[in-house]
Each structure stands twice: as C-alpha cells, then as structure tokens.
C-alpha cells in the first residue's frame, strides 16, 4: 500500500450559522491507531462522521483507498460501512430490540451471510471481548461496559479496515474504560484494523500511535515523536 | 474496494434476510417491543372486526327475511296441491308487557296438513306449538300473566329454521273456527317466494355511517400509536443504517415489521369477530326483534378475502410510503422536503362525502317511513 488508507483534506462543514469544520484534514495509514483530541464542540465528531462518509462535508475531499467518498452512491457507502468500517460510539448504537449476539451478527446478516455462520462468528467475537455471558441479553439488560464491549465486537466482526470510535469510553468509569480500550486496541492490532479514536481523555489517547488535535474546526496532526 | 452486483439468487436471499430481520424486530423486542406490537395489533384488529361486522349485515338481514317469507301465511287462497289437506290460517299479532309477538292461528281440514318451516306437527284444536323463547317466558315467573292466554296443550317447539331470531316470541295454535275469523285464508302451503333484499341506499348509508363512527376512534388510536412508535422506529432504523443497511434494505426491514403488526392484527380482528359472533345471540336489540342467530352473522367471503389481503398489503405500503418523505441516515432522520403545509381540502372530504350521501338519501327516507308503517313484518 503506497498512500494513506483514508485521507481528508480541507473539510468545511457548518450546521446553519455554526461552523463545525473549518479546513480540517487528516490522514490514516493502515493499521495505525490515531487519537483525535480537542475541546468539546471543536468538531471532532463532525470530522469522524465526514471521514466515515456518514456526513457529507460542504467542501473538501475524503478519499478511501483513493476513491472519493462523495462520488459513491448510498448503496456503495452503505456497503463500505458494512464491510470496511466499524463503529463504536459513546452509547446507543446497538439495536435495543436485538440480543447482543444478534447485534454482533447484524452486519454479517445485512451482507447476506447465513444465520448459522453469522452467529458463529459473532459468538467468537463475544468470547474474544469477554462478553460471551451476555450473548442472549438485550442492550438494556447489560452493564455499560458490557454494552461497549459488545459494540466493539460488532465493529470488528466483519474484519474492517477502519474502526471509528467516538468517545468509546465516555460513559464508563475508568476501570471499565481501560478494559474496553485494552480489548479494542488489541483486537484492532490483531486484525490490522486502523482506528480513529475520538477522545478528550489523555489516558485513552495513550493507547494511540499518534494524535490529531482539533480546535475550532481546524486540525493539527501531531507527528510521532520516536 | 469491490462493488459487486448481487446476482439474482443472492439478492433474493438478501431480501428474505431483510424481511426476516424486520419480523424479528417486531417480535421479541423486550417489553417495549411487545407493547408496540400489541398496540398495533389491537388497532388493526378493531378495524378488521368492524369491517367484518359491516360485511355481515347484508347476509344477516337477508337470512332473517328469508325465514320470514318461508313461514308467511298467504293472504289469498292458494292453488290446490293434490294430496294436501289445506289449512285455514291467519296471522295474529299481540303484545305482552311491551313485547310484541306474533303467531298463526290454524285450523286443519285433514291429516295431511302442510307444515311451516321449523314445525314438525301442526297443532290440532286445543294444542299449541311455541318458540323456545315464548315457552321459556311462559315457564318463568314473569310469564304468570301471559299463561292464561295460552291454556292449550304444548305439543312442540318451533326450531330455528322457523324463526327470525333466537328470542322471537312466536306460536302456532289450533283454533276451532279460523275460517270465520278476520284475515284468514285457506292455504295448501306456507311461505311466499323470498324477495332478494337488495340493500337499498338508505341501509348502505346507515352501515357506512355506523362503520365510520366505529372506525373513527380506531383510526385515531392507530394514528397516535403509530406516531408514538415512529420516533423509536426511526432510531432503530438509523442504528441499522450505521452498521451498513442501505436505503432499500431499511425499507424492506420496515415493511417486514409492519407486516407482522398487520398479521397479528388480522388474527386479533378475526378473534374479536368470532367472540362478537358468540355473544350476539345473547343480545336482544329492539331494532332487530327476536335477536340474531349466530349462524346468520356471516361475512361476505369475497370481502373477507379482500380484507385478508388488503390489510397486510396496506400496512406494508404505508410503512414504505412513510419512509419516502424521510431519509433514514446513520446519524438519524433527515426530512427530505420541508414539512408541507397540511392541505385543508383533505379534511373536508369526509364531511362533504357525508352530506352528499345524506342528501342523496333524504328523499327516500320519508318515502321509506311511510312504507314501513304499512309493512307488518
Ligand atoms: N447536527 C448538528 N446540528 C447543529 N449543530 C451541530 C450538529 N452537530 C454538531 N454541531 C455543532 O458543530 C460543532 C462541532 O460539534 P462536534 O460534535 O463535532 O464537536 P465535538 O468536538 O465532537 O464535541 P464533544 O467533545 O462535545 O463531543 C459544535 O458547535 C456543535 O454544536
Ligand atoms: Mg463529539
């Protein structure tokens, strides 16, 4: 692989009169963990959403493997989310009606995989994230930490190239937060997935290989200090 | 990245998986999920019940009429039938304790008397055949004062084929001199040819108004619960979009979900209708003297088939249509068009239609009441 996996340049995005991104950009190389840091309201989540193609910037480009995301159809971007990307948000991304097992199997099912195979893969990932015991429970019946680990299992079950994590430990106490981060980073390294990790906690950012700082919609890539 | 086009077979499987996923979301979604399904099912079920009941009215009235005609006493002398000993018969109407009832006084002229429906032996002089309801009334304390009017020996019961309803008070009594009494005729058979009761406009209007009145609260109920459920559904569908469901898939999933609600609603509707049908014979509405036999409450099967097909299809179409205006995005719902102003003329349609219906039937209404007065049954 010659270029970066994911590259964003000159992103502008405003919600009404509020500018959220003001020329931000960043690149992501295969397999690396990048922390996106910055104060609240600085545009971190907006940047992540643009990178993942779930929000269209007003201007600027996001390319994945050399393909411009805005040029893709909804179906193609959906397929990208299903096969190449994984998502872990602060909370609420699991489908409340489905059990943990069904939630983890969901992206595979949406891709047409047979139930048995999909659930087998899901079970393996639940075990790997140490939440096999809540396989049959719905999100409302698990603890916050368990829920986030189920979400990590779901993000990784398709063996994506990029995991987008927006404050994955934001709703957890430090002990559970550490555990989720440890498991997330280990699993990502194992599957060579790159991670975009939005956080404002230095302790969480410590799991990253390098940092991008966002301030008032502008980003600064902090180069790796060897 | 590869953009492989799904081959037909795989596409079919994906459709199936999406629909199943929608069904899965409708059932077993925890307490809230079941509650939502129950609300939908009750709403759709009540609607289906009202529709089934409305389609039953026509047959119910016709069946009552048919049995009324089949036992009618001809008013003029009927043609001779060889081998039958004619009877003198006359219709008698009376009241007891505010209850109307009627019967036939008969006088046989020989052993081979014709039989009215539901009666296996025509009474001789001093004998009487009673409807079950009349017999029960006579046996009860309430019937104390009526008993002297039926001193005759009871020799039989009129079975349902000779009654318009289960609570009808009806009798056949053998009397010595029917020939000389008023309104009597000598007849070789009972019954007049049945007139097909084509439901006239007025009756249809009443059925339509009744159904609308019953359906109105159901519609409001369904609309409210749908609106309440819509927010939760949009959130759920957005979560599915995030993990990679495309717009089409989300629509199919929503369709699967709506289909389950409609299906359970149909079952509830048919169940409620069956329950109503079981209760109907115990009622004795003044408007339908003698009450209603359960067997007469039979929906029109072609309309039933239509309802069974249309309700789920409609539910699915509405679910998919409601998603046309909104784009479910991974981060939530985006309204495609800014909220359209609600158009007034839509709301005017029901009252205008109602007034038009009433106006078209107004003339017939007065005509009808006049006719009713001279019509004894
Ligand atoms: N959907 C939206 N509608 C309107 N304004 C929005 C929307 N999303 C974000 N914003 C605004 O854009 C700016 C950047 O928001 P963003 O969520 O990207 O910040 P953030 O860095 O993730 O903050 P936090 O750390 O609090 O999550 C904020 O001023 C926010 O109010
Ligand atoms: Mg944020």
Render pLDDT for A151-210 as a digit per residue (tens, 0 to 9): 999 999 999 999 999 999 988 898 899 999 999 999 999 999 999 999 988 888 899 999
Render pLDDT for B173-204 as a digit per residue (tens, 0 to 9): 998 888 877 778 888 888 888 777 666 677 77
Evaluate whether residue A72 is within a structural domain.
yes
Evaluate whether residue A178 is within a structural domain.
no
Confidence band for B40, pLDDT divided at 50, 70 and 90: confident
Specify the residue with its C-alpha closest to ligand 1, atom 28: A41
- Whether ligand 1 lies within 6 angstroms of the CB of A41 is answered as yes
- What mean pLDDT is reported for chain B? 80
Confidence band for A51, pLDDT divided at 50, 70 and 90: very high
Specify the residue with its C-alpha closest to ligand 1, atom 6: A15
Q: Into how many domains does chain A fold?
A: 1
C-alpha to C-alpha distance for B53 and B277, rounded to whole angstroms: 9
pLDDT score at B2: 46
Task: Give chain B positions within 8 Å (CB) of A53.
Answer: none
CA distance B41 to chain A (A): 18
Average pLDDT over residues B142-170: 89
- Whether ligand 1 lies within 6 angstroms of the CB of A11 is answered as no
Specify the residue with its C-alpha closest to ligand 1, atom 1: A15
pLDDT score at B349: 66
| CATH of residue A43 | 3.40.50.300
Query: Which residue of A1, A110, A119 to mutate against B (max B Cβ within 10 Å)?
Result: A110
pLDDT score at B354: 65
Cβ distance of B240 and A55 shorter than 8 Å: no
Q: Chain B interface residues facing chain A, Cβ-Cβ under 8 Å?
A: 1, 3, 6, 10, 13-14, 17-18, 21, 24-25, 28-30, 32-33, 236, 239-249, 329-331
**Minimal Cβ distance to A54: which of B236, B248, B331:** B331
Cβ distance of A54 and B13 shorter than 8 Å: no
**Minimal Cβ distance to A80: which of B1, B30, B248:** B1
CB B280 within 8 A of CB B48: no
CB B126 within 8 A of CB B155: no
CB A172 within 8 A of CB A144: yes
- Whether ligand 1 lies within 6 angstroms of the CB of A44 is answered as yes
Task: Give chain B positions within 8 Å (CB) of A48.
Answer: none
The answer to whether ipTM exceeds 0.90 is yes
Average pLDDT over residues A26-45: 93
Evaluate whether residue A54 is within a structural domain.
yes
Ligand 1 atom nearest residue B331's Cα: 1
C-alpha to C-alpha distance for A156 and A146, rounded to whole angstroms: 15
With 80 as the cut, is the pLDDT of residue B352 above it? no
Cβ distance of A109 and B21 shorter than 8 Å: yes
Render pLDDT for B55-76 as a digit per residue (tens, 0 to 9): 888 888 888 888 988 888 877 7
Q: Please tell me the least confidently modeled range out of B3-7, B132-136, B239-243.
A: B3-7
Cβ distance of A110 and B242 shorter than 8 Å: no
With 90 as the cut, is the pLDDT of residue A82 above it? yes
Evaluate whether residue A100 is within a structural domain.
no
pTM above 0.90, yes or no: no
CB A217 within 8 A of CB A42: yes
- Whether ligand 1 lies within 6 angstroms of the CB of A46 is answered as yes
Report the residue of chain B nearest A139, measured CA to CA.
B30
Share of chain B above pLDDT 70, in %: 83
Which position has the higher pLDDT, B327 or A60?
A60
Question: Rounded to the nearest whole angstrom, what is the distance from the C-alpha of residue B306 to the centroid of ligand 1?
Answer: 51
- Whether ligand 1 lies within 6 angstroms of the CB of A99 is answered as no
Residues 6+ apart with CB under 8 A from A195: A32, A33, A34, A162, A163, A165, A184, A185, A188, A208
Q: Does A166 touch chain B (CB under 8 A)?
A: no
Average pLDDT over residues A88-98: 87
Domain that holds residue A214: 1-84+163-169+192-226
3-state secondary structure at position A73: coil
């Amino acid at each position: 692989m010659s270029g970066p996996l994911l590259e964003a340049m000159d992103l502008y995005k405003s919600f009404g009169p509020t500018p959220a991104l003001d020329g931000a950009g960043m690149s992501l190389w295969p397999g690396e963990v990048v922390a996106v840091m910055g104060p609240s309201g600085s545009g971190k989540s907006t940047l992540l959403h643009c990178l993942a193609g779930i929000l269209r910037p007003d201007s600027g480009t996001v390319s994945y493997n050399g393909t411009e995301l805005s040029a893709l159809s909804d179906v193609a971007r959906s397929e990208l989310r299903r096969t190449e990307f994984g998502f872990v948000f602060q909370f609420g991304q699991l489908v409340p009606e489905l059990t943990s097992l069904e939630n983890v199997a969901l992206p595979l099912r949406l891709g047409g995989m047979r139930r048995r195979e999909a659930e087998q893969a899901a079970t393996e990932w639940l075990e790997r994230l140490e939440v096999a015991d809540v396989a049959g429970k719905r999100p409302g019946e698990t603890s916050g930490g368990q829920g986030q680990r189920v979400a990590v299992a779901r993000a990784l079950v398709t063996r994506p190239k990029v995991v987008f994590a927006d404050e994955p430990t934001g709703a957890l106490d430090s002990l559970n937060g550490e555990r989720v981060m440890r498991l997330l980073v280990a699993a990502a390294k194992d599957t060579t997935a790159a991670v975009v990790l939005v956080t404002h906690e230095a302790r969480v950012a410590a799991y990253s290989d390098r940092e991008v700082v966002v301030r008032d919609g502008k980003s600064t890539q902090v180069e790796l200090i060897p | 990245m590869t953009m492989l086009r799904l081959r037909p077979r795989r596409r079919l499987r994906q459709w199936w998986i999406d629909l199943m996923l929608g069904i899965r979301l409708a059932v077993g979604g925890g307490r809230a999920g079941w509650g939502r399904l129950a609300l939908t099912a009750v709403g759709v079920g009540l609607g289906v019940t009202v529709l089934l009941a409305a389609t039953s009215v026509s047959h119910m009235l016709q069946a009552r009429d048919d049995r009324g005609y089949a036992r009618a006493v001809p008013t003029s002398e009927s043609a001779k039938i060889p081998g039958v000993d004619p009877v003198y018969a006359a219709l008698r109407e009376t009241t007891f304790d505010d209850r109307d009832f009627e019967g036939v006084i008969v006088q046989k002229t020989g052993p081979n008397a014709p039989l009215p429906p539901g009666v296996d032996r025509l009474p001789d002089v001093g004998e009487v055949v009673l409807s079950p309801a009349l017999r029960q009334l006579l046996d009860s304390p309430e019937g104390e004062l009526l008993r002297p009017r039926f001193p005759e020996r009871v020799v039989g019961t009129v079975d349902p084929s000779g009654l318009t309803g289960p609570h009808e008070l009806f009798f056949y009594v053998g009397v010595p001199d029917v020939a000389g009494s008023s309104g009597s005729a000598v007849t070789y058979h009972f019954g007049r040819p049945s007139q097909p009761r084509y439901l006239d406009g007025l009756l249809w209007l009443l059925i339509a108004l009744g159904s609308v009145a019953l359906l109105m609260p159901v519609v409001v109920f369904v609309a409210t619960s749908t609106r309440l459920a819509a927010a939760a559904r949009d959130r759920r569908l957005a979560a599915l979009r995030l993990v990679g469901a495309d717009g089409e898939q989300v629509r199919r999933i929503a369709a699967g979900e709506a289909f389950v609600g409609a299906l359970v609603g149909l079952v509830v509707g048919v169940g409620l209708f069956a329950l109503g049908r079981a209760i109907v014979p115990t009622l004795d509405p003044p408007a339908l003297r003698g009450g209603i036999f359960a067997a007469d409450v039979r929906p029109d099967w072609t309309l039933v088939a239509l309802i069974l097909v249309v309700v789920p299809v409609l539910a699915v179409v509405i679910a998919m249509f409601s998603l046309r205006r909104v784009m479910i995005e991974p981060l939530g719902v985006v309204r495609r068009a800014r909220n359209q102003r609600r158009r007034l003329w839509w709301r005017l349609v029901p009252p205008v239609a109602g007034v038009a219906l009433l106006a078209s039937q107004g003339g017939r209404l007065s005509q009808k009441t006049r006719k009713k007065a001279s019509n004894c049954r």
